[in-house]
Amino acid sequence: MKKILLGLLCLSVIFVIDCGGSAVILDSPEITMVVMHETSVTATWAADTSIENHGDFQGYNVYVYTDSSELLIEDGEDLNKHNADVITDNSYEAINLNQDSVYCIQVRTVNIDNKVGDYNDSVPFVKASPRPEFTVTLMAERWDISGVDDSCAVRFSDAIIMADSAMSNGGADMWALNDSVIAFSFNSPNTHSQYGANTRTTHFVNLGNYELYSIFEVSTEPSESSVGILEGDLVIAKTQDGNYVKIYIDAIDDTLFTVTILYAYQNIAEFPYF
């Protein structure tokens, strides 16, 4: 009888030790920023020392799916992670992505037993899509000089620069002006006094002094047909087709009357992220 009880006691002890040895499944972080590039997306998430200093913490996995419903499952073991190795940093660049696709980006913790945590309740995923990026220099139309201006207008989708007289046939989305009242400005093609007929309509909002990558979501809808600009400003435009454009004013030359811009064109219509 004693041998039987001793055997049961040993089994009980083994069971408790086995259960106690499993690593804790840790909470997942909240994505705080996304930076979109031409063929990649970089996600950054908040550091949480209570998680990262935990003895069972190993790192993070990032998941990149086009269908968000596939990510909204508690058990992440069957998900396909984008990263080859467990991430120990607080950011990750997902590469080789398609500009014509919208991706849902999700981050989950991984413990030392390689068990994946649940998704974050506050921000389960963020949407992102790579987008083309261009640098162009426009020669602003002069208010005090009449005639055709051969490089004051631009078509956003492919950075084709054209004359104001070509805006209708060329499909321009914006033209630049220098006048005595507001100096330099960006304008919708349909506002041009001479060549505005049958041209496209674009709306703008000037957010002020921001870097190109500091804004990745439209929070103020563009509504103006013309905006004054200064060097270092960030302008959000929306084309007639619903494409959002983020325009950074890189340089203004008051002598040559030129403005150089770096802009990101979101080729997915009505998608307010870039």
Chain segment 186-203, per-residue pLDDT in tens? 999 999 999 999 999 999
Predicted confidence (pLDDT) at residue 13 exceeds the cutoff of 70: no
Task: Look at residue 4 in the predicted model and tell me its pLDDT.
Answer: 44
DSSP per-residue letters across 92-116: EEE-S--TT--EEEEEEEEETT-PB
Among 146, 178, 181, 194, which Cα is nearest to 255's? 178
Task: Look at residue 143 in the predicted model and tell me its pLDDT.
Answer: 77
Predicted confidence (pLDDT) at residue 185 exceeds the cutoff of 70: yes
Q: Where are the domains of the chain?
A: 24-128, 133-265
Tell whether domain 24-128 is in CATH 2.60.40.10: yes
pTM for the structure as a whole: 0.85
Burial 134-159 (b: 16+ CB within 10 A, else e): bebbbbbbeeeeeeebebbbbbbbee
The H or E element spanning position 11 is helix 2-20
Q: Is 19 exposed, middle or buried (0-12, 13-18, 19+ CB in 10 A)?
A: exposed
